Structure 1
Amino acid sequence: MEKTAKPIIGVTIGDPAGIGPEVSLKALLEPSVINSCVPVLIGDLSVLKKVSNLLGIRFNFKVLGSPSEAKGENKLINVIDLGSIDADKIAVGVASSESGWASIQYIERAVEYALKGEISAISTAPINKKAISMAGSKHRGHTEILAALCGVEDPLTMFWVKDVRIFFLTRHIPLIEAIKAVKKDKIISMTLKVEKALRWLGIERPRIAIAALNPHASDDGLIGSEENEEIIPAVRELQSMGLDVVGPIPADSIFHKALEREYDAVLSLYHDQGHIAAKTLDFYGAVAVTLGLPFIRTSVDHGTAYDIACKGVANPRSLIEAIKLAAKLSKIYSYRAD
């Protein structure tokens, strides 16, 4: 697929029992989405029609045999209909093996298209970890499923919010374990991965800031020892390798400095350190990006929200931003498996 053409973005509708189908439909009503790409929903037409009726919004659905048939037109919803699930048998707002299985089918089809070059990138509405587990998946979530389908061992998660790029040393582990994981070798290894990923995004010599762990970056060892014993030695070794790396930068200022464009990216040391900053900056505008796959994948930064499924109140902005970012990054992403 020519990267100069308007990119075709495959949008998986997520768990059919959650808000994914609703935000997917609402996102495709947004003119800025249609202006940036040709979006194609990958899911079940019966689910989308049921949600459309519940929303009281009339959509013009076009069922495609292939993404190449898609047309980027306002109020036209391009759909790849997998026929995975009967919408009338879905228990809305409840995790089930049926909805989990269907959401996995959507991901698998999207990856198939992306690997064949039939779509430029993937944007994903939320799935439910319990539901996919009930369906027999051995993977914890989206990223793990995508990695397995692409034969990639360790893809990177990046948060993108207002052009601030945030990476994570650790993510879904207890905080006490995250603190123990702040080690020189791990910081060096992760920063090298971050530097490579940023070059895939066209930043030839990225400036990377590493967050401190303790208040005031420990005040030279007065408040904790991790900065002096682990982070500073890691930064110095990375600098000796020729990387443009600074740190440790106190966590109460590093994200503001990134917003001021002092850095190309921030390496957050644990899950909430980066998530709180991103979601406070723009809760609905934060987008999760998976790097290290042969294609760009972006995602909403929220869950299935079973409690408000099919009530017409779900905010689609995160998916809107995810689709537009997928279109933008797909034009510059140059993945090299090395």
Structure 2
Amino acid sequence: MPRSIVITMGDPSGVGAEVTAKALAQASIKDRARTVVIGDRPTMELAASICGVDLPIIGPDDTEDGICVEHIEVAGLPRQFGLLDPACGEASFRYIERAVEITSALPGSCIVTAPINKEALNAAGHHYDGHTGMLAHLTKSKSSWMLLASEKLSVVHVSTHVSLRDAIERATIERVLETIRTGNTHLKRMGVAAPRIAVAGINPHCGENGLFGTDDDTALRPAVAAAQAEGIDVVGPISADTVYYRAYQGAFDLVIAQYHDQGHIPIKLVAFDTAVNVSLGLPIDRCSVDHGTAFDIAGKNIADHTNMMSALSYASRMVSAGKK
């Protein structure tokens, strides 16, 4: 059985190894057999021991049941939890780089990423705003999007890790339209026959006919009209203070958020432990936990692996859905 789900361990000093070990311990034998962890084997062994996981750490060529780890040697790893270290940033990058190599050569595969630390990543000389930007660079993708998916609310962002001033400038007709198209295509792939999409406004009350800004009229409304002309079931802009409630109540399958916090705040309010971060617009599939490295609790068997289990479940759905 090919190992079609590729987990990157994330920052070796964070909670990634713990939540991975716990989640795989609860997975079926069949699911473990198609999963490989790219990371540091001693760290995975330590995490499994701390968490009381009674499964062997095995290599990619082993056939017994266990947690399969492809070890990537990185010089200077502290192999201690809770430390911010450039060597851990270097390791995080190399794990992602290797996962991209594997999934690029294996159609029908998916990367599941454990959390990285952006400060450690940049200290190692890898200047990215996070996983999505790194993956876009490694796959030579011109554009990418962040989707936060949960059972009752899903959000895709026009922009993410930029200042609010820059986010407003990035909300162009072209970018908003392409975001709508990308979200619509992904939901159809995931089994939603006719996705219902709402576009959140930028300004309070969508600008109130110019009283509070004109961005909604000059950028968002034309993008929505263009998408409607293509046959996409999309409405908006709708004031951001009501659209998420309506979506959560079942009126929409997807909300287009204009910037990072506009999309993250409602998702983290209603699905903090279960929301999955999905990268769209890449030639490979990738989803992730929607939490950080949590250095303060790393190595203490405290970290909740619910989010990792949700990410692995979503990855299985993408693998089952077939090629994009």
- Shorter-chain TM-score bucket reads 0.7 to 0.9
Residues 9, 20 of structure 2: 8 Å contact kept: yes
What is the match of residue 68 of structure 2?
78
Residues 156, 290 of structure 1: 8 Å contact kept: yes
User: Which amino acid is 1:65 matched to?
Assistant: P
The gaps in structure 2 that reach 5 residues or longer are none
What is the match of residue 53 of structure 1?
49
Match among 18, 24, 27 for residue 20 of structure 2 = 24
User: Which amino acid is 2:177 matched to?
Assistant: I
What is the match of residue 35 of structure 2?
39
1:212-261: per-residue Cα shift (whole Å, max 9, x none)?
22333344445443333332233223323333221112223322332344
1:270-324: per-residue Cα shift (whole Å, max 9, x none)?
1111101111111011110012223321111111111221122111111111111
1:112-158: per-residue Cα shift (whole Å, max 9, x none)?
22122187211110111121222222433222222222222212211
Residues 144, 282 of structure 2: 8 Å contact kept: yes
What is the match of residue 79 of structure 2?
90
Residues 146, 277 of structure 2: 8 Å contact kept: yes
Residues 284, 318 of structure 1: 8 Å contact kept: yes
Structure 1 CA distance, aligned partners of 2:284 and 2:152?
Answer: 20
How far apart are 1:202 and its partner, in Å? Answer: 4.8
Equivalent residues in 2 for 1:1-338 (5 A)?
8-31=4-27, 38-55=34-51, 57-66=52-61, 76-84=66-74, 89-117=78-106, 120-162=109-151, 164-203=153-192, 205-335=194-324
Secondary structure of the residue aligned to 2:318 is: helix
User: Which amino acid is 2:285 matched to?
Assistant: I
The gaps in structure 1 that reach 5 residues or longer are none
Residues 190, 317 of structure 2: 8 Å contact kept: no
TM-score, scaled relative to structure 2: 0.88
Structure 2 CA distance, aligned partners of 1:144 and 1:181?
Answer: 16
Residues 308, 314 of structure 1: 8 Å contact kept: yes
The count of aligned residue pairs is 323
Structure 1 CA distance, aligned partners of 2:322 and 2:267?
Answer: 22
Residues 10, 115 of structure 2: 8 Å contact kept: yes
Structure 2 CA distance, aligned partners of 1:255 and 1:36?
Answer: 34
The more displaced of 150-159 and 257-266 is 257-266
Secondary structure of the residue aligned to 2:231 is: coil
The root-mean-square deviation of aligned C-alpha atoms, in Å, is 2.7
User: Which amino acid is 1:308 matched to?
Assistant: I
Structure 1 CA distance, aligned partners of 2:39 and 2:125?
Answer: 19
TM-score, scaled relative to structure 1: 0.85
Structure 2 CA distance, aligned partners of 1:96 and 1:306?
Answer: 11
Secondary structure of the residue aligned to 1:283 is: coil
Secondary structure of the residue aligned to 2:56 is: strand
How far apart are 1:203 and its partner, in Å? Answer: 4.4
Structure 2 CA distance, aligned partners of 1:62 and 1:142?
Answer: 26
Identity fraction in percent: 35
Secondary structure of the residue aligned to 2:70 is: strand
The more displaced of 108-117 and 284-293 is 108-117
Residues 197, 292 of structure 1: 8 Å contact kept: no
Structure 2 CA distance, aligned partners of 1:70 and 1:127?
Answer: 30
Residues 15, 99 of structure 1: 8 Å contact kept: yes
How far apart are 1:167 and its partner, in Å? Answer: 0.7
User: Which amino acid is 2:24 matched to?
Assistant: L
Relative to structure 1, the CA distance from residue 238 to residue 64 in structure 2 (aligned partners, 3 Å threshold; closer, same or farther) is same
Secondary structure of the residue aligned to 2:25 is: coil
User: Which amino acid is 1:216 matched to?
Assistant: H
